[in-house]
Amino acid sequence: MKKVIPIASGRAPAPVFAGGELADTRGRAMHDLRISVTDRCNFRCVYCMPREVFDSQYRFLPQSAILSFEEIARLAGIFVDLGVRKIRLTGGEPLVRRDLHRLVAMLAPLGAELTLTTNGSLLAKQARALKAAGLQRVTVSLDSLDDATFRAMNDADFPVARVLEAIDVAAAEGLTPVKINTVVKRGVNDQDIVRMAERWRGSGHIVRFIEYMDVGSSNGWRMDEVVPSAEVVRRISARWPLVPADANYGGEVAQRWRYVDGAGEVGVISSVTQAFCSTCTRMRLSTEGSLFTCLFAQSGHDLKSLLRAGASDDAIRNEIAAVWQRRADRYSEIRTAETAKERKVEMSYIGG
Ligand code: SAM
């Protein structure tokens, strides 16, 4: 009989994980792991890390609090044992973490699909090393093709041309298909939807329009600033007709739409207007080694203490399994204007 390490919160110890498919209280399996490798970012996107909050006084995590690459790789191996099939590195901005390709090289042999989400600012320089280390694909966030709008949204005066160049470099290195994430905020960049679709039609890259979400507690989210995905699809379809396409796999976040004229596809991520909690298979590992079972969580489960106290792989596996088995969250299904005001962890910390 394996020993169970009690969970720090003082709840009763969970049963030892006996193997097989891991399911939570709603029958959802754990297939994806998002790893936040840093809570820092060189952008100050207005909807994510507003400059008024994340200013020079903001206390980012000290180095000692952050999981090392060795610690991340060890945990990732345990997650893969537990059924994770896809790992996404994120943050903060993952490419501001020094030598990230070293971590990629440590994760690649685990055999899970390995991807990265980035703002693209440092990608052109690192794409080759990341690909050589075993990264399979990248998702690049890009909110506008209009330079002034883009600079205003990233609030770091970063030019759009450099991100476009990074997308080309990533594609040339084989980090394909490149996915492009566009957060749509009404009155800020929604005038760019059709232009964005036009830019990526027929390119082999896939643009996904994301509904602006009430993540964290600092972005001042309002429902009237959300552009529903249905409207995005309607606007694009009025120019180039779209038809729904089948999901690539169960639990896929984006709904896929195919151009009738064969110019590829676009995706929409409708976390606000069409919650997909019931098919959510994602676990998140924060920069300092806490587990979160929901992007909108208010607290996590500390794994780092266990790790640094010398726990065995079995003990850590049991702890992760227990967290997942107890999972009941479905925030996006119960979101109201009131819940949006609740104090939630910031996306830059938990990993987007
Ligand atoms: N720095 C990287 C990047 O820019 O892609 C990775 C982290 S970022 C938090 C991950 C994704 O979350 C980005 O595509 C970003 O646009 C999206 N995001 C951040 N805040 C959001 C919000 N309030 N609503 C919707 N998407 C958001």
Query: What is the DSSP-derived secondary structure letter of residue 224?
Result: G
CA of 48 to the centre of ligand 1 (A): 7
- CB-based contact 194:239 (threshold 8 Å): yes
Give me the pLDDT at residue 187, please.
96
Give me the pLDDT at residue 341, please.
83
Q: What is the pLDDT of residues 272-301, one digit of tens each?
A: 999 889 999 999 999 999 999 999 888 899
Mean pLDDT over 333-344 rounds to 83
Give me the pLDDT at residue 3, please.
37
Give me the pLDDT at residue 344, please.
84
Does this model's pTM top 0.75? yes
Per DSSP, helices labelled H in the chain are 69-81, 100-107, 123-133, 147-154, 160-172, 193-200, 229-239, 304-308, 313-326, 331-334, 347-350
CA of 49 to the centre of ligand 1 (A): 9
Percent of the chain with pLDDT over 90: 81
Q: What is the pLDDT of residues 73-108, one digit of tens each?
A: 999 999 999 999 999 999 999 999 999 999 999 999
State the pLDDT confidence band at 9, using cuts at 50, 70 and 90.
very low
Residue 6 has pLDDT above 50, yes or no: no
Q: Of the candidates 347, 329, 119, which has an alpha carbon nearest to the alpha carbon of residue 221?
A: 347
Give me the pLDDT at residue 13, please.
54
Residue 44 has pLDDT above 70, yes or no: yes
Pairwise pLDDT comparison (349 vs 187), residue with the higher score = 187
Q: From the DSSP assignment, how many helices (H) and strands (E) are in the chain?
A: 11, 12
Nearest CA, atom 20, ligand 1 = 48
Give me the pLDDT at residue 298, please.
87
Provide residues with CB under 6 Å of ligand 1.
41, 47-48, 90-91, 93, 117-119, 141, 181, 183, 210, 212-213, 215, 219, 347-348, 352
- Of the residues 347, 348, 349, which should be mutated to test ligand 1's pocket, given the most ligand atoms within 8 Å of the CB? 347
- CB-based contact 324:14 (threshold 8 Å): no
* Alpha-carbon dihedral angle through residues 120, 126, 128, 129, given to the nearest 10 degrees: -140
Give me the pLDDT at residue 14, please.
53
Nearest CA, atom 2, ligand 1 = 118
Nearest CA, atom 19, ligand 1 = 48
Q: What mean pLDDT is reported for the chain?
A: 93
Q: Which atom of ligand 1 is nearest to the CA of 348?
A: 9
Q: Report the distance separating Cα 122 and Cα 116, nearest Å.
A: 13
